[in-house]
């Protein structure tokens, strides 16, 4: 066992005695372990959420003892962050595949968490759930991606992959204590979500009167099939108004998008920018866009839409995206798999004016401190 974990284990009480003394013991921070396989250098919403939670925990040490368990180049345990042995498989986003679940379970045994949140169903979930139960911890399956979303990201016909993924999700989530999601989970888990997946925005995302609004349409996100970026290029080619299109992100579809743009005659209108983790720079990009488009029909939330709207920028998004219903007047929805309706929504968003007042309300309602305070209340209720 690594010495860092030995210290943790030596200082932790065993699960049974800990829970037996809970009523008599004074209040203490809830120990939360977030387990996430899809946590790459340039990944999107999951990493944004986990990094924000880690910052919140630093500011609120009396409320939450927070730990993130993710794949890493080598095993390392430091300041609540636990990187476990893995190998890189997707260079574009820095994703890695863990070398089994042994190190993960050993780390959980050393941490003795009160609750374990599983942010994907692929890191040997049945073994990890069993380990957590042995420790007396509650388990939560966090539903970031539906079977349809995951199937759409794979090459080949989605209808072949979706049923297989659905069976895997049902098997992996059968024994968790709760499901956290923004969408209907009955098809994937055979049970409804009992906790909402709350997402927030960094304070940098706000209306900026000092930023000039451009004439371009902006996409921010992963460059992959399930995100609808190819459909966005087709919409640009169909548009009677030759608006410029800026694409910010990285992913396996980047070269395909560049080739498709040339074939559609969009080379002079389209530009590509790399993934940006700097929140201030990204907020400036949102604020300077004429509108933001989130074209994917399988989003389980759509954090980019919320961030853009918090900057006051109008957003065109699929009607199936939960974020669309959170951003109020700044959102312009379109029917999934309807190219004409996508074109209409983009036109509406493009012609709309920024709304600083609505943006300010969104930023206040979705502050990360409010988000995590509400999540922590729900987790405490689950632990009992």
**Do 184 and 302 belong to one domain?**
no
Total-model pTM: 0.85
pLDDT digits (tens, 9 = 90+) for 246-281: 999 988 899 999 999 999 999 999 999 998 789 999
**Do 232 and 159 belong to one domain?**
no
**Do 109 and 76 belong to one domain?**
yes
The answer to whether residue 211 is domain-embedded is no
The answer to whether residue 209 is domain-embedded is no
Cβ atoms 169, 121 nearer than 8 A: yes
How many structural domains are present in the chain? 2
**Do 28 and 151 belong to one domain?**
yes
Which residues of the chain register pLDDT less than 50? 3, 7, 10-22
**Do 142 and 241 belong to one domain?**
no
**Do 193 and 233 belong to one domain?**
no
User: What is the reported pLDDT for 11?
Assistant: 47
**Do 85 and 113 belong to one domain?**
yes
The answer to whether residue 67 is domain-embedded is yes
The answer to whether residue 208 is domain-embedded is no
User: What is the reported pLDDT for 15?
Assistant: 45
Q: Whole domain around residue 354: which residue ranges?
A: 217-365
**Do 147 and 62 belong to one domain?**
yes
What is residue 36's three-state secondary structure? coil
Q: How far apart are CA 1 and CA 108, in angstroms?
A: 12
**Do 304 and 277 belong to one domain?**
yes
User: What is the reported pLDDT for 156?
Assistant: 76
**With helix as H, strand as E and coil as C, how does the chain read?**
CCHHHHHHHHHCCCHHHHHHCCCCCCCCCEEEEEECCCCCCCCCHHHHHHHHHHHHHHHCCCCEEEEEEEEECCCEEECCEEEEEEEEEECCCCEEEECCCHHHHHHHHHHCCCEEEECCCCCCHHHHHHHHHHCCCEEEEECCCCHHHHHHCCCCCHHHHHHHHHHHHHHHCCCCCEEEECCCCHHHHCCCCCEECCCCECCCCCCCCCCCCCCCEEEECCCCHHHCHHHHHHHHHHCCCCCCEEEECCCCCHHHHHHHHHHCCCCCCEEEECCCCCHHHHHHHHHHCCEEEECCCCCCCCHHHHHHHHCCCCEEEECCCHHHHHCHHHEEEECCCCHHHHHHHHHHHHHCCCCHHHHHHHHHHCEHHHHHHHHHHHHHHHHC
The answer to whether residue 207 is domain-embedded is no
pLDDT digits (tens, 9 = 90+) for 2-15: 545 554 554 444 44
User: What is the reported pLDDT for 13?
Assistant: 44
**Do 194 and 312 belong to one domain?**
no
User: What is the reported pLDDT for 12?
Assistant: 47
**Do 260 and 323 belong to one domain?**
yes
**Do 269 and 177 belong to one domain?**
no
For the domain that residue 111 is a member of, what is the CATH number?
3.40.50.2000
The answer to whether residue 38 is domain-embedded is yes
The answer to whether residue 205 is domain-embedded is no
The answer to whether residue 234 is domain-embedded is yes
């Amino acid at each position: 066992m690594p010495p860092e974990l030995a210290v943790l284990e030596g200082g932790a009480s065993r699960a049974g005695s800990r829970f037996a003394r809970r009523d008599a013991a004074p209040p203490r921070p809830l120990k939360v372990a977030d387990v996430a396989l899809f946590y790459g250098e340039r990944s999107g919403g999951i990493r944004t959420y986990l990094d924000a939670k880690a910052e919140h925990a630093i500011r609120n040490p009396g409320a939450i003892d927070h730990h993130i368990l993710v794949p890493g180049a080598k095993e390392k345990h430091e300041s609540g962050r636990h990187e476990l042995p893995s190998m890189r498989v997707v260079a574009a986003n820095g994703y890695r595949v863990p070398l089994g679940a042994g190190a993960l379970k050993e780390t959980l045994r050393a941490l003795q968490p009160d609750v374990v949140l599983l942010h994907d169903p692929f890191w040997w979930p049945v073994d990890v759930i069993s380990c957590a139960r042995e420790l007396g911890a509650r388990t939560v399956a966090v539903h970031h991606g539906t079977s349809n979303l995951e199937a759409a990201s794979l090459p080949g016909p989605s209808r072949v992959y979706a049923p297989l993924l659905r069976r895997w999700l049902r098997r992996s989530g059968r024994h968790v204590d709760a499901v956290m999601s923004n969408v209907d989970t009955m098809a994937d888990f055979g049970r409804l979500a009992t906790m909402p997946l709350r997402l927030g925005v960094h304070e940098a995302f706000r209306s900026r009167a000092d930023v000039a609004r451009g004439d371009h349409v902006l996409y921010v996100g992963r460059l992959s099939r399930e995100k609808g970026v190819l459909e966005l290029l087709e919409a640009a080619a169909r548009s009677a108004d030759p608006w410029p299109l800026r694409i910010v992100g990285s992913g396996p579809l980047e070269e395909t998008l560049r080739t498709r743009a040339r074939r559609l005659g969009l080379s002079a209108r389209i530009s590509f920018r790399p993934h940006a983790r700097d929140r201030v720079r990204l907020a400036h990009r949102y604020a300077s866009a004429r509108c933001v488009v989130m074209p994917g029909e399988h989003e389980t939330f759509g954090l980019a839409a919320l961030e853009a709207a918090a900057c006051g920028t109008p957003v065109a998004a699929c009607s199936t995206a939960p974020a669309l219903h959170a951003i109020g007047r700044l959102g312009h929805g379109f029917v999934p798999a309807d190219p004409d309706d996508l074109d209409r929504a983009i036109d509406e968003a493009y012609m709309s004016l920024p709304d600083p007042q609505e943006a300010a309300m969104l930023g206040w309602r979705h502050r990360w401190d409010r988000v995590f305070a509400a999540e922590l209340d729900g987790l405490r209720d689950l632990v009992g």
